[in-house]
């Protein structure tokens, strides 16, 4: 019964933290990023050059075959899975901060991106997605 009381006490604090994070993301993420509230959410960096928009996601412990990058309508969607090995079978955890599970990150693509020329590479736990800008009729990037 005490465990249920602890869960009830901690739940509102978790909910308020999650609501604060969601509002922060809506206000401070002009590219239209969306994080799934449940599961693990890897961090991403987004930069832009003259020729492309570049997204990099930290995916430590994720296997390349467990990551999927696709375009759905006008969104870039990153999906995948990370599982953590339970190597401490005898003993008790004092802190567990590493998360595992499914993740989904969705980004609204700028109109200037050539959706047919997107490239992705996965190396050393970092996913790098290159989103080339479409060329205008004059041969210049839009």
CA distance 40 to 81: 8
CA distance 79 to 61: 14
Q: What is the pLDDT of residue 80?
A: 92
Average pLDDT over the chain reads: 77
Residue 3 has phi, psi (to 5 degrees) of -60, -40
Residue 71 neighbours by CB distance under 10 Å: 14
Alpha helices by DSSP H, the chain: 2-28
Chain segment 43-81, per-residue pLDDT in tens:
899 999 999 999 999 999 899 999 999 999 889 999 999
Chain segment 116-137, per-residue pLDDT in tens:
999 999 999 999 999 999 987 5
Q: Which of 34, 48, 69 is nearest to 113 (CA)?
A: 48
Chain segment 7-18, per-residue pLDDT in tens:
444 444 566 666
Residues 6 or more apart whose Cβ sits within 8 Å of residue 137: none
Structure confidence at residue 27 as a pLDDT band (50, 70, 90): low
């Amino acid at each position: 019964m005490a465990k249920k009381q602890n869960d009830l006490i901690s739940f509102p604090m978790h909910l308020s933290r999650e609501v604060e994070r969601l509002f922060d993301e809506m206000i401070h993420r002009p590219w239209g990023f969306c994080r799934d509230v449940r599961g693990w959410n890897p961090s991403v960096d987004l930069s832009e050059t003259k020729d492309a928009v570049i997204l990099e996601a930290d995916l430590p412990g994720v296997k390349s075959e467990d990551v999927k990058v696709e375009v759905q309508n006008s969104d870039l969607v990153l999906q995948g899975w990370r599982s953590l090995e339970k190597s401490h079978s005898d003993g008790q955890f004092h802190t567990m901060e590493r998360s595992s599970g499914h993740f989904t990150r969705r980004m609204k693509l700028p109109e200037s991106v050539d959706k047919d020329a997107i490239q992705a590479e996965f190396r050393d736990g970092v996913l790098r997605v290159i989103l080339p800008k479409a060329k205008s009729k004059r041969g210049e990037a839009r």
